[in-house]
A and B are shown apart, each in its own frame.
Chain A
Amino acid sequence: MEAPGDDGKAPARGPELIAQASSDAALVARCRAGDDDAWRELVERFSRYVYAIAVQGFRLGQQDAEDVFQDVFARVYERLGSLRDDEAVRPWIAQLTRRVCIDRLRSGARESDADIEELHELPAEDVLTALEDAFDVHDALAELPENCRQILDRFFARDESYRTIGDTLGLPAGTIASRISRCLDKLRDAFEGEGRNVPPAPSGGQVT
Chain B
Amino acid sequence: MSNYDHEQLSRLIGMLPPAPQAWVQAAQELPAARRGLDGLVARVEADAAFRAEVLADLESALQAEGVEPQPRVVEELRRLLADD
CA distance A45 to B67 in the complex (A): 24
Residues on A with beta carbons closer than 8 Å to the beta carbon of B30: 39, 43, 73-74, 77
Contact, CB under 8 Å: A184 / B10: yes
Give chain B's interface secondary structure class: helix
Q: 1/0 per residue B7-42: CB within 8 Å of A?
A: 011101111111110011011101110100000000
Contact, CB under 8 Å: B24 / A192: no
Residues facing B in A174-208 (CB within 8 A) are 181, 184, 187-188, 191-192, 196-199
Residues on A with beta carbons closer than 8 Å to the beta carbon of B16: 18, 48-49, 52, 131, 134-135, 138, 157
Contact, CB under 8 Å: B19 / A131: no
- Give the size of the chain A interface in residues (CB under 8 angstroms): 46
Chain A nearest CB, measured from B26 CB (Å): 6
User: Per a CB cutoff under 8 Å, which of A69, A131, A133 touches B23?
Assistant: A69
Say yes or no for A158: interface residue by CB 8 A criterion: yes
Contact, CB under 8 Å: A69 / B14: no
Say yes or no for A36: interface residue by CB 8 A criterion: yes
Contact, CB under 8 Å: B6 / A134: no
Chain B nearest CB, measured from A140 CB (Å): 9
Residues facing B in A127-141 (CB within 8 A) are 130-131, 133-135, 137-138, 141
| A-B contact number at CB 8 A | 105
Residues of A at the B interface (CB closer than 8 Å) are 15-16, 18, 34, 36, 39-40, 43-44, 47-52, 56, 66, 69-70, 73-74, 77, 130-131, 133-135, 137-138, 141, 152-153, 156-159, 181, 184, 187-188, 191-192, 196-199
Contact, CB under 8 Å: A40 / B28: yes
Chain B nearest CB, measured from A20 CB (Å): 13
Residues of B at the A interface (CB closer than 8 Å) are 2-6, 8-10, 12-20, 23-24, 26-28, 30-32, 34, 72
Residues on B with beta carbons closer than 8 Å to the beta carbon of A69: 19, 23, 27
CA distance A196 to B28 in the complex (A): 32
Contact, CB under 8 Å: B28 / A199: no
User: Per a CB cutoff under 8 Å, which of A16, A47, A131, A198 touches B15?
Assistant: A131
Please name the residue on chain B nearest to A131 by beta carbon. B15
Contact, CB under 8 Å: A56 / B15: yes
Chain B nearest CB, measured from A14 CB (Å): 11
CA distance A188 to B12 in the complex (A): 12
Contact, CB under 8 Å: A191 / B27: no
